[in-house]
């Protein structure tokens, strides 16, 4: 019995169609994978930065013997913290360091509808992150159910590089004081402060809470 050894060859048209399909699949999947990797890198930096802020606060509190330190102004706040967070650059106003505030976005929302950063002193950390120091009435401020707020840190984990969005590379944390627990650092969106995290956000109240959401969840809200 003879075996037919002839095999059907692909035509040039079929090869071209296959290459086009492969190209489309690659064009769709590679950017998505790169985007996912970037988000994970931002989240890892934010986790590390929260640790840095907490450790810096503990060291500062220890150096002051557990007593209240001067945070009556944002300048005083940065002055107290700068040696414990290791700033490699300091500026008197965040707008001389950060991009124009209209270029920052709410979480998956529009630019210029969320507060990017206050006009307060800022600096660059040794890892390249930007941080703003904002005093809040020397520990007398409150947000919804959270009281004893002394100030806050607004951080951009990759400086002025994109995406410049709350919940992606822009985050915020409170410095809170109580007589029983001393100074503590909490991410915004926790401890009853009233902030949440929602996709297509158009305001601070539904964007700044992504600072906590990002720490607790690997996947961020998409809808």
CB 121 within 8 A of CB 91: yes
Give the span between the Cα atoms of 213 and 201, in whole angstroms. Answer: 14
Name the token pair of 40: 């994970």
pLDDT tens digit string along 160-199? Answer: 999 999 999 999 999 999 989 999 999 999 999 999 999 9
What residues pair up with 143 in beta bridges, in sequence order? 146
pLDDT, tens digit (0-9, with 9 covering 90-100), for 8-35: 555 555 555 555 544 544 444 444 444 5
Q: Give the percent of the chain with pLDDT over 90.
A: 60
Closest CA to 150 of 138, 142, 162: 138
- Classify 28 as helix, strand or coil: helix
Residue 91 has pLDDT above 80, yes or no: yes
Burial class (CB in 10 A: 0-12, 13-18, 19+), 43: buried
């Amino acid at each position: 019995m003879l075996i037919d050894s002839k095999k059907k060859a692909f035509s040039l048209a079929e090869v071209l169609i296959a290459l086009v399909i492969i190209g489309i699949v690659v064009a769709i999947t590679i950017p998505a994978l790169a985007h996912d990797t970037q988000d994970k890198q931002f989240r890892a930096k934010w986790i590390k930065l929260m640790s840095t802020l907490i450790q810096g606060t503990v060291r500062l509190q220890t150096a002051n013997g557990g007593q209240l330190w001067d945070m009556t102004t944002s300048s005083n706040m940065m002055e107290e913290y700068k040696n414990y967070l290791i700033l490699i650059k300091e500026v008197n106003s965040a707008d001389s360091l950060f991009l124009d505030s209209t270029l920052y976005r709410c979480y998956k929302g529009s630019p210029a509808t969320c507060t990017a950063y206050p006009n307060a002193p800022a600096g660059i950390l040794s890892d390249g992150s930007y941080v703003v120091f904002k005093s809040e009435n020397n520990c007398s401020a409150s947000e919804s159910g959270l009281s004893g707020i002394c100030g806050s840190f607004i951080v951009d984990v990759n400086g002025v590089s994109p995406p410049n969005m709350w919940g992606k590379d822009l985050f915020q944390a409170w410095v809170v004081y109580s007589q029983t627990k001393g100074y503590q650092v909490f991410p915004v969106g926790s401890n009853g402060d009233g902030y949440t995290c929602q996709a297509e956000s158009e305001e601070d109240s539904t964007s700044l809470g992504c600072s906590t959401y990002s720490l607790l969840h690997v996947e961020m809200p998409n809808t």
